Structure 1
């Protein structure tokens, strides 16, 4: 099956609905290249915004494909604020009043990115940009009103710190199947070695979900203990992998190498006798399933936090953690200095 399946396939489908200027934006991001997963998320936000312009009678068309550049440029500040308010209320009803900020910020960022592109990075036959008025500059992203200490406290009970990382993997390997039905056990045994490789790679490298999904067979070098990945904004990186995961990854590598398929993705699924690259959604589900059975339901990003916290507890180096996670500065890693480890608690108890 072609690599076009998955995010690229879904993006291409959405492009059939979009005006040409949106598709030009998408092509420009592929040149960067931005990951197909990120482009897909942006496309969902574009469709949501353009559909809202139709539903609100701000434009008079039957399809979003018909919305013109002039109409997009003429959207007023008040109209864009109405869209943001509409999205905030929708997300609050769906996610709760305290859980919507990040999702709303991502949508606003996507719209800003499109407007910025059309106003600054395009060129018509006269050498002018497609648009000159950028209404999105008048809308600001709301920062989360949380201290790092509060975020750390929220995370602490969800992290598999110390010996729990090893215990979690051993639970999946030896005990998980005892807690499920015979039907579920059949599926588990089929994917057990793959799933252990996925879980251990998250916990030994701190990769993002999209980065793990994007790994191809020839990206792995277990002899050197490293994997090549595509970071955000299309940046290539080589990431070290902790030794404890090598056995799990190598066990799956042997099986994966023997599968006859044109797909180059390292992590694949086999459903209805169709082999395809595993999706972010599938990985989120399997992480939630195993973690909930072990201790508490978490996401792949929580496993990334687990790895980063453990690495900081050992190294006490924000620079090392920042480089490992693929951050361009040490600021995002300040969170891990606020997560109190079991060792630190023991020390505090002795005061």
Structure 2
């Protein structure tokens, strides 16, 4: 299995986080490391921390430190208290990042993730672990009584949500033209300086998302050797550390090549085949871009053009265009996007069918004009 930069980053973050945890959580993480990714475990332990802090804040456990919460407190936790915790989670609100006066409630999927996290921990403590004479930490599992509310949506409904948040028709082309020719017009002198420095790199990033449909962590882990100009392909590391090869549009390859021509001079970066492709110049040294840095680049340009979008929305845009151009070739879409289930790829078929419906209506308008 290939080890990505993101994998190493979450291993380090997980290692720092478990220092705050009780011994039984440390043991849980150690036993799960071979079957769960560091990202999943980090998110789980972060959920445990929120749960433990709630237990202390509500006076259910009397201690001044999460590390000192005894396992017996979980054994004796009442069903009412468990339900109250998930009510607390589901009623939390957060600010919409680009709207100062707007808040949203946590969605059902996020609440379900909190439930899954704690169900995993309690199952480990009551079934999977052995601490004394072949017995687990305790036997009463209150979290097994907590139902997970299934989120039900049709493919059409999910596809409609995607359509509302991506570039449709030729807007992806218009967006790239805007970044290339119009974005700089409204910049201050200081902003212009950074834009001129990074424009080839940033444009190559935007073009690559829209010309290949790769994920943000797949992009940040690209090395120079992963670009095959003659084969018009790039090698990526998928979820689970699996290596894969995907096609890339010729125009995106050209944009990558334009970036590579200036990469060494601007960022003082080496050109060895194992060097990271996308880098920044920081404190006199080249450093690979993080996922967050790439997300911020995408946010900046998309917000200026139309609406704030994530790299994942650019991936959705590419997938929808691919579905339309290939008349909904599901195996091809699955291979290109690294999907393991066909129902995910079907989302983009439904999205492209919406485009076809609108096109049919426009064609019908021509007929109506003739009568």
The alignment partner of 1:116 has SS state of helix
Structure 2 gaps of 5+ residues are: 97-101, 365-371
Q: Is 1:67 aligned with 2:69? A: yes
Q: Is 1:285 aligned with 2:267? A: no
| Number of the residue aligned with 1:345 | 358
Compute the TM-score of the two structures, normalised by the length of structure 2: 0.79
The 5 A counterparts of 1:183-262 are 183-224=190-231, 225-231=233-239, 234-243=240-249, 244-253=251-260, 255=263, 259-260=269-270
Q: 2-side partners of 1:86 and 1:108: how far apart?
A: 12
| Number of the residue aligned with 1:154 | 161
The alignment partner of 1:54 has SS state of helix
Q: What are the superposed Cα offsets for residues 131-153 of structure 1, whole Å, 9 maximum, x if unpaired?
A: 43333222233233544333333
- Report the alpha carbon displacement of residue 273 of structure 1 after superposing the two structures with TM: 4.2
The alignment partner of 1:228 has SS state of strand
Q: 2-side partners of 1:190 and 1:62: how far apart?
A: 50
Q: 1-side partners of 2:162 and 2:225: how far apart?
A: 35
Q: Is 1:58 aligned with 2:57? A: no
Q: Is 1:325 aligned with 2:337? A: yes
- Report the alpha carbon displacement of residue 343 of structure 1 after superposing the two structures with TM: 4.6
Q: 2-side partners of 1:167 and 1:141: how far apart?
A: 43
* 8 Å contact kept, 1:26–1:39: yes
* Matching residue within 85, 88, 101 for 2:87: 85
Q: What are the superposed Cα offsets for residues 158-188 of structure 1, whole Å, 9 maximum, x if unpaired?
A: 3223433233223223322222222122222
The alignment partner of 1:227 has SS state of strand
Q: 2-side partners of 1:223 and 1:134: how far apart?
A: 58
CA gap of 1:84–1:238, structure 2 versus 1, over 3 A, is same
Q: 2-side partners of 1:131 and 1:264: how far apart?
A: 50
Q: What are the superposed Cα offsets for residues 95-122 of structure 1, whole Å, 9 maximum, x if unpaired?
A: 7556622332332232233333444443
Q: Is 1:180 aligned with 2:187? A: yes
* 8 Å contact kept, 1:227–1:241: no
Q: 2-side partners of 1:335 and 1:37: how far apart?
A: 26
| Number of the residue aligned with 1:12 | 15
Q: What are the superposed Cα offsets for residues 184-218 of structure 1, whole Å, 9 maximum, x if unpaired?
A: 22222333233223222222332333343344555
Tell me which of the two structures has the higher relative contact order, counting C-alpha pairs closer than 8 angstroms and 6 or more residues apart.
1
Structure 1 gaps of 5+ residues are: none
Q: 2-side partners of 1:268 and 1:290: how far apart?
A: 18
Q: Note the aligned Cα RMSD (angstroms).
A: 3.2
- Report the alpha carbon displacement of residue 47 of structure 1 after superposing the two structures with TM: 1.5
CA gap of 1:19–1:273, structure 2 versus 1, over 3 A, is farther
| Number of the residue aligned with 1:43 | 45
The alignment partner of 1:133 has SS state of coil
The alignment partner of 1:16 has SS state of helix
Q: 1-side partners of 2:116 and 2:147: how far apart?
A: 9
Q: 1-side partners of 2:224 and 2:128: how far apart?
A: 36
Which structure has the greater CA radius of gyration? 2
| Number of the residue aligned with 2:369 | none
Aligned residue pairs: how many?
Answer: 346
Compute the TM-score of the two structures, normalised by the length of structure 1: 0.83
Q: Is 1:167 aligned with 2:174? A: yes
Q: Is 1:313 aligned with 2:324? A: yes
The alignment partner of 2:341 has SS state of coil
